[in-house]
Structure 1
Amino acid sequence: MTSYLFDTPEVHSIPVRRETAEYPVRRIFCVGRNYAAHATEMGGEVDREAPWYFLKSATAHVASGATVPYPPGTDNFHYEMELALVLGAPAFRADQDEAKAAIYGYGCALDMTRRDRQQDGKDHRRPWDLGKDIENGAVMAPLTRAADWEPAGQRIHLEVNGEVRQDATLAEMVWNVAEIVSHLSHYYHLQPGDVIMTGTPAGVGPVVAGDRITGGIDGLDPIELSLGAAE
């Protein structure tokens, strides 16, 4: 039996509706600019040739309902409401039918972002890691199995302290879930445990300590996050 110099990391996992076992998080892929209106508000354009991605560490995961500290190293911390999908079967060089069949379930997610640090990366042609791969920056609500729900133009929305900030439909996504999984599977051996966050609609903006973020997608469990004081 292998021994280790330090305690092994905890397994981050997401509850699943009507299941006692939870879904273990292996990797978190995020699709960039998958809503045209959001791309415009960020001063860019949608790349309609193919989706593109950035990653968050599994340790960035935090469960919906948590209260987390305002993160260090930013004065411009933003919410991004998203549909997340999770895989339940391997997918490698999958066509769209195979890709869709590999999806285990769906859930609401928040891609929390140090917008100023992301902008630093853009300005200096550097990676976005300090802006995107943030402790407590991948918030996940409980999942619903794909057999019980599938994306079909449902409303996606987010509120800050009860005020609506994002309000769109999944029909506005540039790349649908099967297209995303199929495309990504040509670059990675996707496996159960892989989470894909599919992008955010327009209306992103800053939050501060004391704010309460809520959001939802019709038919899925809602999501919530509260921001505490900075450490």
Structure 2
Amino acid sequence: MTKLAINPNPPVTLPIDGTDARFPVAQIYCVGRNYADHAIEMGHNPDREAPFFFMKPRFSVLPEGGNMSYPALTHDLHHEVELVVALAEGGRNVSIDDAVSMIFGYSVGIDFTRRDLQGEAKEKGRPWEAGKTFVHSAPLVPIVP
């Protein structure tokens, strides 16, 4: 067994509706500009720009019943309601049929964004993780298998 120099963070898990089991969160992948009305609201043309992907760290998860404090460094906190797809297994370049068979269940979440920090980063041509990745920026309800 590998000896670790420090203790790892505890796993992040979510309740599974109708059971005592928990779902382990390994990665959080998000899709941007996948909703035409929101793309227009943000000043983009959804017919010309393909959706893109970004990640949130596991510490972004706020399980149902948890409390979220207003995040530091922002005066412009936005929210978007999201459909969350929980995958039972990962993969790369899989077909649509294979992708569907990888789904464990679904949840509903909120993607909080510190829009002012995100905008400043975009203006400077920098990555905008500071606007998206902060503690409890992704509240989720239990997963429905």
> TM-score normalised to the size of structure 2?
0.93
Per the TM alignment, residue 123 of structure 1 is displaced from its structure 2 partner at its CA by: 1.0
Unpaired stretches in structure 1, ≥5 consecutive residues = 146-231
For 2:111, the equivalent position in structure 1 comes to 111
Q: In structure 2, do the counterparts of structure 1 residues 98 and 41 end up closer, same or farther at CA, with 3 Å as the change threshold?
A: same
The residue type paired with residue 52 of structure 1 is: F
2:137 is matched with which residue?
137
Go from structure 1 to structure 2 and tell me whether the alpha carbon gap of 1:47 and 1:4 turns closer, same or farther (over 3 Å shift). farther
Following TM superposition, by how much is the alpha carbon of 1:124 offset from its aligned partner in structure 2, in angstroms? 1.1
C-alpha RMSD of matched pairs (Å):
1.5
Task: Provide the rounded CA distance (Å) in 1 between the counterparts of 2:49 and 2:74.
Answer: 33
Gaps in structure 2 of 5+ consecutive residues:
none
Native 8 Å contact 1:16 1:143 kept in 2: yes
The aligned residue for residue 78 of structure 2 is 78
The secondary structure found in structure 1 opposite 2:97 is helix
1:1-48 Cα distance to aligned partner (Å, 9 max, x none) = 323232210100111112221110011011001111101111112266
SS at match of 1:112: strand
- By how many angstroms is 1:111 displaced? 0.6
Aligned partners of 2:42, 2:105: CA distance in 1, in Å? 29
Partner SS, residue 39 of structure 2: helix
- Map Cα deviations across residues 140-178 of structure 1 (whole Å, 9 max, x no partner): 110111xxxxxxxxxxxxxxxxxxxxxxxxxxxxxxxxx
Secondary structure, counterpart of 1:23 in structure 2? strand
CA 1:133 to 1:74, structure 2 compared with 1: closer, same or farther past 3 Å? same
Which amino acid counterpart does residue 40 of structure 1 have in structure 2? I
Q: Partners of 2:126 and 2:112 in 1: how far apart?
A: 19
Counterparts of residues 1-231 of structure 1 (less than 5 Å): 1-46=1-46, 50-145=50-145
Do the aligned partners of 2:14 and 2:63 also contact (CA within 8 Å) in 1?
yes
Q: If the length of structure 1 is used for normalisation, what is the TM-score?
A: 0.60
The count of residues paired between Structure 1 and Structure 2 equals 145
- Report the Cα offset of residue 59 of structure 1: 1.4
